[in-house]
C-alpha cells in the first residue's frame, strides 16, 4: 500500500510541475495508465528479486538441471517467476538451448576486464593507438582466450575474492606497474552477482508473465 501511495504522490507532483508550462494539457492523456504501469513495474521487480534470491541459493543445482533440461529446482524457480505450468516444457527447452549464453558467456565476462585494462592504458597519442604495447584487438583476444579456457575457475575466483586467472591475464598483458596491476586484478571484485547470477535471472525472467 505504501508503494502505491508513493507512486500516486509522485504522479500528483509531476502533474503540478507539468501544469506550470504552456503545453500542460498533454499530462492528462491517461494518468491512470501511468500509475498502473508503475505498480506493474513494482510487482515485476519484487518477483525478479524472489527469482534472484532462489537462484543465489540453488545456482549450482539449477546449472546442472538446466543442462539436462529437467529438474525440480527449475520448475520451482519458474513458478516463482509466475510462469504457467503448461509452459514449463517450452521454457525448460529454451533455457537448455541458451545454456552457453547463461553459463559460459565469455563476452559478458571479458568486457569489464577489458574496460579496466583500457582505462589503465589509454593510447598515448593519435599516432600510437596501442595500450601497453597491444592493439585493442590483441588485448581483447588475450582476455577472451583466458576467460574461455578458465571460465569455471574465474567464476570461482570472483565468487571467493581470489585472483588466479586475472593475475595470469595481467602477466600476459605485461601489466608490471604495481599501481596499475593491483586495480586490474581486482577489477571483478564484488561483481559475482551481476556477472553470473543476473545472467540466469534474466534468462528466466524473459519468460515471465
Residue range 124-131: average pLDDT? Answer: 76
Give the pLDDT confidence of 101-123 residue by residue, as tens digits.
999 999 999 999 999 999 999 87
Return the exposure string of 37-68: e unless at least 16 CB atoms fall within 10 Å of the residue's CB, then b. Answer: ebeeeeeeeebbeebbebbeebbeebbebbee
- Spatial distance between the Cα atoms of 127 and 106, rounded to a whole number of angstroms: 31
Give the pLDDT confidence of 162-198 residue by residue, as tens digits.
999 999 999 999 999 999 999 999 999 999 999 999 9
- pTM for the structure as a whole: 0.77
Beta bridge partners of 131: 134
- Spatial distance between the Cα atoms of 98 and 1, rounded to a whole number of angstroms: 38
What are the structural domain ranges in the chain?
Answer: 2-17+29-97, 103-197
Whether 14 shows a pLDDT value over 50: the answer reads no
DSSP letter string, 168-190: HHHHHTT---HHHHHHHHTTTTT
Amino acid at each position: 500500500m505504501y508503494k502505491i501511495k508513493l507512486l500516486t504522490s509522485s504522479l500528483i507532483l509531476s502533474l503540478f510541475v507539468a501544469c506550470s508550462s504552456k503545453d500542460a494539457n498533454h499530462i492528462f492523456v491517461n494518468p491512470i495508465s501511468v500509475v498502473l504501469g508503475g505498480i506493474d513495474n513494482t510487482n515485476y521487480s519484487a518477483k525478479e528479486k524472489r527469482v534472484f534470491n532462489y537462484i543465489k541459493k540453488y545456482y549450482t543445482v539449477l546449472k546442472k538441471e538446466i543442462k539436462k533440461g529437467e529438474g525440480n529446482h527449475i520448475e520451482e524457480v519458474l513458478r516463482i517467476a509466475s510462469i504457467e505450468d503448461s509452459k514449463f516444457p517450452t521454457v525448460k527447452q529454451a533455457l537448455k538451448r541458451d545454456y552457453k549464453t547463461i553459463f559460459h558467456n565469455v563476452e559478458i565476462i571479458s568486457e569489464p576486464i577489458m574496460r579496466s585494462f583500457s582505462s589503465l592504458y589509454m593510447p598515448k597519442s593519435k599516432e600510437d593507438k596501442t595500450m601497453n604495447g597491444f592493439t585493442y584487438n590483441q588485448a581483447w583476444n588475450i582476455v577472451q582466450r583466458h576467460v574461455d579456457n578458465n571460465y569455471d575457475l574465474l567464476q570461482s575466483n570472483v565468487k571467493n575474492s581470489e585472483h588466479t586467472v586475472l593475475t595470469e591475464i595481467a602477466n600476459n598483458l605485461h601489466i608490471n606497474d604495481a599501481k596499475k596491476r593491483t586495480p586490474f586484478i581486482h577489477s571483478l571484485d564484488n561483481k559475482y552477482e551481476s556477472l553470473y547470477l543476473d545472467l540466469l535471472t534474466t534468462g528466466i525472467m524473459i519468460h515471465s508473465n
